[in-house]
Chains A and B, each alone.
Chain A
């Protein structure tokens, strides 16, 4: 009986690992990305951004040397008019780079008529899709890590002060969060590249979502909160409720999640990302920085949220891709 069930189960299972050939796909995708002209343009863009903002930040920081415990982290967060800070730029650039990498990853295979040939090799679709995702993610990781090292080096050279171990840890976590933030937009652009046969349509759709979250979602969240929890009597509870709803709504946007997460990582003095009532501040020493573990605790929900969004989007893309007819 048991063997019968096992046999039936064995018959219904697919043979072999779904990840057969995964690393071949990852290697090919990375090689493609790293040698493409598209990538070179993006690299120039990001290096210029980093150089510009870090130079601005250094000009600013030099005047305050000796006053701040976390001088190095200020490199990332200090803005010098008219340029925004490096982190501000990253919030803008990371989605763009991620979208630029993968908006044509699946539909491009269709239009080049390579998809059916590749899928006729002994691999599953799973390996192709995950391989494409990982290939792009590793490319992002490689580029961001290079930029991060560049900034650390510039900081050492320009400020002449070595970073403390906590600063290194915090900025490294910033790097990790940035890479994962890129992962969301990779997954999103990939879903669109599965849905739309035209790469241009997929790129536009991805950019539309990005623009929506960058610009419009904050406005919409404000309007929604005002409509859903209107101020009727002017009680402070009402204001608090409305503000909390608005904050909750804005946090549906990955852009907000990312911005809050890196703010808490790079500015240890940030103690809360929500609202604090005066009663909650009793006994607190204002302005004193949080230890890294506490900052991490603060952004833990943000990190899980970012990761969950990535997984959901990837799962959506996976389902769509598995069901897609591959005949061109």
Chain B
């Protein structure tokens, strides 16, 4: 079996003259958490809808789990869980009743449905409110119910559109934890977001969308190297001859730029994690090393930098 769970080839979607998705080549491997990033209107949701066969591509090919979503939508949709952004439920029904409807639509029999519902509600921590009307739920609870709704069909892959939108920080943190446990179970996850910090926290790889194109793709360090020219930022606090330490640090292989920030604080932009070499350099330059810290690349910066370049380019 093919290791690629999602594979698109020159996937294009046009609405009239507007091109929502432009010749997209996306591949997601089994067991991976892939993040679709980009500003609103960049084509993330359209891409997701095409993956599910909910909208027809204008041209190009899509394969999800080796199936064609526009020709075999039932097979795709019975294997792939989907949670739309700001997922909605029938407010006048209870959490359990909402899930029963989903179970029935998936063709589960009564016995199996109740078993799975109890199971998934417990997993998302909603077992105590199973018989409460969804209308009384908070956004975070609805979002978790959305996850339960996806898991009901025991999906091989799940797709979440802006899953943390509208959640408070605590809710978002819990939600990301939930995503991690799903990943551990070997479920492939595709999620879209414009909240970069969260994407960075859970995604193995990310794809940056801009005007229907995936302009950057890779792991967060890879993107950092490509966009910022560095992947790591090392903070050093050392006492001693400032010039000697600075020039010693500059000579460390992999160091891109060394800045003296404040008295004895140095900031080294580096291509890789060169903490041991930096420590050695400080000591050989006669300095006293007080503190050594590494800050991994920040998707926020990559994002901001990239779009700054794009705008300057135009």
Contact = CB atoms under 8 A, between A and B. Distances in A.
A1 B89 CA distance: 50
Contacts of A327: 45-46, 49, 55
Given A21-B107, A120-B77, A114 B88 contact: yes
Contacts of B168: none
B307 interface: no
A116 B54 contact: yes
Contacts of B40: none
A15 B72 contact: yes
A20 B74 contact: yes
B104 A122 contact: no
Nearest to A113: B88
Given A21-B104, A114-B89, A327-B45, A121 B77 contact: yes
Given A14-B73, A326-B49, A117 B105 contact: no
A28 B73 CA distance: 23
B61 to A, nearest CB: 13
A325 interface: yes
Given A117-B87, A117-B146, A15 B107 contact: no
B101 interface: yes
Main secondary structure of the interface of B (DSSP, over half): mixed
Contacts of B83: 117
Given A114-B89, A116-B54, A122-B78, A28 B101 contact: yes
Contacts of B101: 24, 28, 118
A326 B82 contact: no
A285 to B, nearest CB: 59
Contacts, number: 89
B74 A122 contact: yes
A24 B104 contact: yes
Contact of B54 (A28, A114, A119): A119
Interface in B61-75: 71-75
Interface residues of B, number: 35
Nearest to A111: B88
A243 B190 CA distance: 68
B77 A122 contact: yes
A119 B84 CA distance: 11
Main secondary structure of the interface of A (DSSP, over half): loop
A21 B103 CA distance: 10
B237 interface: no
B54 A326 contact: yes
Interface residues of A, number: 30
B177 interface: no
B159 to A, nearest CB: 8
Contacts of A232: none
B257 to A, nearest CB: 44
Interface string B29-70: 000000000000000011001001011000000000000000
B149 interface: yes
Contacts of B102: 117, 121
A124 interface: yes
Interface in B185-222: none
User: A114, A326, A328 — which one has the most chain B CB atoms within 10 A of its CB?
Assistant: A114
Nearest to A120: B82
Contact of A116 (B71, B73, B82, B106): B82
Contacts of A15: 71-75
A148 B92 CA distance: 31
Interface in B83-101: 83-84, 86-92, 101
Nearest to B52: A120
A113 B87 contact: yes
Contacts of A328: 84
Contacts of B72: 15
Contact of A112 (B73, B81, B88, B107): B88
Contacts of B46: 327
Nearest to A328: B84
Given A14-B73, A122-B77, A327-B45, A117 B149 contact: yes
Contacts of B88: 112-114, 117
A16 B45 CA distance: 26
A123 interface: yes
B82 A117 contact: yes
Given A14-B73, A15-B75, A113-B88, 13 more contacts: A15-B72, A21-B104, A113-B87, A117-B83, A117-B146, A117-B149, A121-B153, A122-B78, A122-B105, A123-B74, A123-B77, A123-B105, A325-B15
20 contacts: A15-B72, A15-B75, A20-B107, A24-B105, A27-B104, A28-B101, A32-B90, A36-B92, A113-B86, A117-B82, A117-B83, A117-B146, A120-B54, A121-B77, A121-B153, A122-B105, A122-B106, A122-B107, A123-B105, A327-B49
